[in-house]
Homo-oligomer: A and B are copies of this chain.
Amino acid sequence: MNKFEEFNGFFNPSTVAFFGASNVMQKFGSLHLTNLLTAGFQGKIIPIHPNGEKILGFKAYKNIKDVPEDVDLVVIATRPDIINNILEDCGQKGVKYAIIVSGGFSEIGNEEEQNRMKEIAQKYGIKIMGPNCSGEVVAPNINITHVPWPPRKGGVSIISQSGTYAVQPLIAISTKIGVGISKIISVGNEVNTDLVDYLEVLEEDQNTTCIGLYFEAVRRGKEFIELIERINNKKPVVIIPIGQTEAGTRSAKSHTAAITSPGYIIDSICEQTGAVKVKNSIEMLNLLNGFDSLPLLKGNRVAILTMGGGPGTLMSDLFESHGMNVPVLSEALQEKIKPWLPPTASTMNPIDLTYSDDMQNYLNVVPEILLKSNEIDSLIFYGLMGNQYFTNILKVPDYMKDLESVIALKNFGDMMDDFFMALFDELVDFKEKYNKPIILTCYNTREEKFVAYLQDHGIPVYYPEEGVWVLIRMWQYSNFMLSKLNK
């Protein structure tokens, strides 16, 4: 049995029992059960509750041993002092997988109860995620966390030593860049399954294309480093280290019972393995979204296609001061794109259209000429206005509402999304056909229909500075891999 199969009960359970769910919705257990239900889970849900009877509409049992069928996975979110008795019952019932959400163990110095938990688990062969964790997501139909946010299904998997970070930043990022999730795993106190185990699982997981780690400390250093090095050859690993200063360490110790690894160790791990270190959640999720959506970079040359000089300049600066190249296009290539641009445009690179309302030239004709050339390895856009822009312009006084041109603008706004989408489909094809990353940047977010369409079809959309960082870090990864091959 490989590692993925060994852990399958967490990720593909048929029957899930809940301890701590009740008819009081505010309880964590009730939230977990409800979130699993509303995610569209197709298996069986069984609440275990001292009163028996009905919990949130489901038939409940007083003890798990009373449940007639097999139970694959239990989720425990009760008072900590009764958990080990529950676990004993689960063991007797033959349960092999448990997510223990509740805290109150080694993170507050209660080593004794945590050791007892470990012994019971060992006696019955139970794998525990936690205790003191935020649960798991297996997109799209399993959400056993307290956050009711079903992310888009995709290839990004995250393992987190922080429960809060496992789930909460995703709310922000989903509404902004719609990151496509495969699995989220909150490891908590790691009583008998740890970071290294879940990395091995994700290495084998067909649905995971790249991996993010919220990293405080590792309990098996050698295995961890070897594993990261091996995985990173196939699936990019992105690390966000937390807990590296005196106050940070104090804080980490108090919430996951871990002695944190100092920063220089993480730096040297990244240097050796090629894993990419980032500073915060936004950067991590932006980058993982890039890895999941785009082909890898084959070289460091980027073309910037912009409606507006300032963003072109700022993006150029960022690229060039971080190892990427915004090359002046050859005369021949410049001549090829010139006929499709306004006379005021600059064609050297950045290609600054200044302003153009010919979206076909901007989004299709010129990009294809650039991507087809052997002068660039990636393409980044700046600028698109969404329907919201038009909606706001059209907040005009009543007496203007009947003006022919106001009606025309309204019609344009209404048809714009559809018009854009045909052009976007072409762009998606280019990405595949020329096998080069394409990113669009603007200051619109996913609430705009066109943004969501692009993101859901594999063209990431970010704020300009963020899009640049994604390409810089994707190149950092490719560059490491290429230089390793050449050794």
Contacts and interface: CB of A to CB of B under 8 A. Distances in A.
Contact of A344 (B25, B108, B245, B465): B108
A255 B31 contact: no
A35 interface: yes
A248 B320 contact: yes
A317 B465 contact: no
Given A149-B392, A311-B164, A314-B242, A251 B405 contact: no
B25 A409 contact: yes
A34 B214 contact: no
Interface in A309-335: 309-314, 316-317, 319-321, 326, 328
Contacts of A246: 320
A171 interface: yes
Interface stretch (A190-198, A274-282, A362-370, A471-479): A274-282
Interface string A156-170: 000011111100110
Contacts of A350: 247, 250-251
Contacts of A444: 171-172
Contacts of A281: 463, 465
A34 B396 contact: yes
Q: How many copies of this chain?
A: 2
A405 B163 contact: no
B248 A163 contact: no
A256 interface: yes
A399 B38 CA distance: 12
Contacts of A397: 37-38, 57
A254 B313 CA distance: 10
A111 B243 CA distance: 57
A286 to B, nearest CB: 12
28 contacts: A31-B393, A34-B393, A34-B396, A38-B395, A56-B403, A57-B400, A104-B344, A147-B389, A148-B389, A148-B392, A148-B395, A163-B308, A164-B309, A165-B310, A168-B308, A168-B442, A243-B313, A243-B317, A245-B320, A245-B321, A247-B319, A251-B312, A251-B346, A254-B346, A254-B348, A254-B352, A255-B308, A255-B354
- What are the nearest 9 A-B pairs in CB distance? A162-B310, A255-B309, A164-B308, A245-B320, A247-B326, A247-B316, A248-B317, A148-B392, A280-B465
